[in-house]
């Protein structure tokens, strides 16, 4: 159960890092190319910390724990526990930054709660990751404002991005049986309690950005059948195909 | 402090950070402790950023440096908590960074004491003096520079671009 929860944390970092890595060499300007991939690097580093711990927990539970690489490269999409939001395609830069902001704003709140987890290992990783996530959300919020309150065209694109991604945000606050048990044990963060502070920050940033908060509140995956349960959008398989092809084709490859 | 411990610290003080070779890992505050156990020495390191690509190289460099300082086995441990902060960068290292054109972190990092989630502030003015001419009229070009720990700035007076080591 703890293993599954750690995978959720790790997979969010890995998948979003992979998405951000797709911008390498294609950023709108050199500085943004570097910035997006640096954010991805932070997320990848965090994912490795979570995977390493997940592997130890798995070893404790079953006697055979997988390595970081095995977890990253040799699971199929149904084995991934990331949020649907982070696997959504990059689209244009507004799509990428909207996805990033919606995630970052949730991520800082989640990590802040996990800092006080009764599991010392989780608390330590969260405290470290929070400092990085804090910087990420400042940047992504700035971009939401810059594009939202920019030109007519940038505003239109940012609003369209928010409208398209909004239905994937509900899953972030859905608590299933796995999380419930770990919340009660003082190990996991109560994701449902993050919704109000998340929404008030989002409202403030959208206000500054002259963006409208979508009114359609139908949420994909919120009914316990989403990314956290291993049920994904079609985009994840394509992402994994590219990410995993090398180690699966050459399992002994070293670099 | 034993002679051996002294020579270990001295050797660690010679290990340069791979991405900022002008400062040592001790000056950067990456070495958290050196302890003697029954079966050898344990050097505890802490990563600067979770994804810092230099972490592995630093471990290898530490091993190589200590090979001459002690004959006892050396174990390298990683400690995440308390999380590394730029407040641990030694004054001497700050002078070296500045001399090399990299502006050291201005003020204390808020993360030194766990601060929780800070509210988002737009258009934050944080004066970062130009390392060449000292002007405070500088602008942030990018929140990330040549490494994860730096941001890129430009001086509006002398027009020189420069790196800023972000408070973290």
Residue A188 confidence (pLDDT): 98
- Domain limits, chain B: 3-78, 91-165
**Among the partner residues A31, A48, A125, nearest to B152 by beta-carbon distance:** A31
At B119, is the pLDDT very low, low, confident or very high (cuts 50, 70, 90)? low
Q: Is B1 on the interface with A (CB under 8 A)?
A: no
Q: What is A2-249's CATH number?
A: 1.20.1260.10
Distance of CA B95 to the CA centre of its chain: 13
Please give, one letter per residue, the 3-state secondary structure of chain A. Answer: CHHHHHHHHHHHHHHHHHHHHCCCCCCCCHHHHHHHHHHHHHHHHHHHHHHHHHHHHHHHHHCCCCCHHHHHHCCCHHHCCCCHHHHCCCCCHHHHHHHHHHHHHHHHHHHHHHCCCCCHHHHHHHHHHHHHHHHHHHHHHHHHHHHHCCCHHHHHHHHHHHHHHHHHCHHHHCCCHHHHHHHHCCCCCCHHHHHHHHHHHHHHHHHHCCCCCCCCCCCCCCCCCCHHHCCCCHHHHHHHHHHHHHHHHCCCCCC
- Strands of the sheet containing B74-78, edge to edge, are B31-37, B40-45, B74-78
Q: What does each of the 255 residues of chain A score in pLDDT, given as a tens digit?
A: 999 999 999 999 999 999 999 999 999 988 899 999 999 999 999 999 999 999 999 999 999 999 999 999 999 999 999 999 999 999 999 999 999 999 999 999 999 999 999 999 999 999 999 999 999 999 999 999 999 999 999 999 999 999 999 999 999 999 999 999 999 999 999 999 999 999 999 999 999 999 999 998 899 987 778 999 999 999 999 999 999 999 999 988 887
**DSSP 3-state of B112:** helix
3-state percent helix, strand, coil for chain B, nearest multiple of 5: 20, 25, 55
Q: What residue of B is the nearest CA neighbor of A203?
A: B120
**Among the partner residues B49, B141, B144, nearest to A45 by beta-carbon distance:** B49
Q: Tell which CATH classification among 3.40.50.1000, 3.30.300.130, 3.40.630.40, 3.90.1150.10 matches the domain B3-78.
A: 3.30.300.130
B82:A127 CB<8 A: yes
- Domain limits, chain A: 2-249
At B145, is the pLDDT very low, low, confident or very high (cuts 50, 70, 90)? confident
CB contact at 8 A, A130 and A108: yes
Q: For residue A52, which of B78, B57, B140 has the smallest C-alpha distance?
A: B78
Residue B114 confidence (pLDDT): 45
B45 strand-pairing partners: B31, B78
Whether pTM exceeds 0.80: yes
Q: Is B150 on the interface with A (CB under 8 A)?
A: no
């Amino acid at each position: 159960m703890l293993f599954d929860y750690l995978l959720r944390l790790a997979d969010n970092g890995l998948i979003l890092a992979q998405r951000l890595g797709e911008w390498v060499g294609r950023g709108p300007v050199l500085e943004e190319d570097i910035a997006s991939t640096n954010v991805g690097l932070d997320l990848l580093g965090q994912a490795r910390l979570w995977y390493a711990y997940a592997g130890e927990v798995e070893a404790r539970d079953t006697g055979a724990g997988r390595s970081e690489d095995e977890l990253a490269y040799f699971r199929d999409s149904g084995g991934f526990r990331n949020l649907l939001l982070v696997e959504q395609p990059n689209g244009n830069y507004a799509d990428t930054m909207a996805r990033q902001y919606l995630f970052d704003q949730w991520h800082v709140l989640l990590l802040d709660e996990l800092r006080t987890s009764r599991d010392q290992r989780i608390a330590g990783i969260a405290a470290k990751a929070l400092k990085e996530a804090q910087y990420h959300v400042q940047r992504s919020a700035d971009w939401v404002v810059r594009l939202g309150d920019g030109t007519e065209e940038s505003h239109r694109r940012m609003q369209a991005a928010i409208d398209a991604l909004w239905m994937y945000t509900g899953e972030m606050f859905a608590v299933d049986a796995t999380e419930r048990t770990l919340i009660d044990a003082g190990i996991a963060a109560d994701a449902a309690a993050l919704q109000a502070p998340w929404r008030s920050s989002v409202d403030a940033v959208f206000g500054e950005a002259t963006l409208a908060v979508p009114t359609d509140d139908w949420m994909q995956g919120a009914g316990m059948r989403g990314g956290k349960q291993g049920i994904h959008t079609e985009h994840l398989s394509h992402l994994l195909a590219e990410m995993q092809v090398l180690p699966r084709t050459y399992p002994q490859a070293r670099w | 402090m034993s002679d051996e411990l002294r020579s270990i610290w001295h050797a660690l003080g010679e290990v340069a950070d791979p991405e900022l070779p002008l400062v040592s890992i001790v000056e950067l505050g990456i070495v958290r402790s050196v302890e003697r156990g029954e079966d050898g020495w344990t050097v505890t390191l802490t990563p600067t950023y979770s994804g810092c690509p230099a972490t592995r190289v630093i471990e290898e460099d530490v091993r190589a440096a200590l090979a001459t300082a002690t004959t006892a086995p050396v174990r390298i441990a990683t400690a995440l908590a308390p999380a590394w902060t730029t407040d641990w960068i030694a004054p001497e290292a700050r002078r070296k960074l500045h001399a090399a054109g990299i502006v050291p972190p201005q003020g204390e990092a808020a993360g030194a004491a766990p601060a929780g989630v800070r509210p988002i502030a737009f258009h934050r003015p944080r004066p970062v003096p130009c390392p060449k001419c000292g002007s405070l009229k500088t602008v942030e070009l990018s929140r990330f520079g040549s490494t994860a720990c730096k941001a890129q700035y430009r001086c509006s007076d002398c027009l020189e671009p420069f790196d800023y080591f972000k408070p973290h």
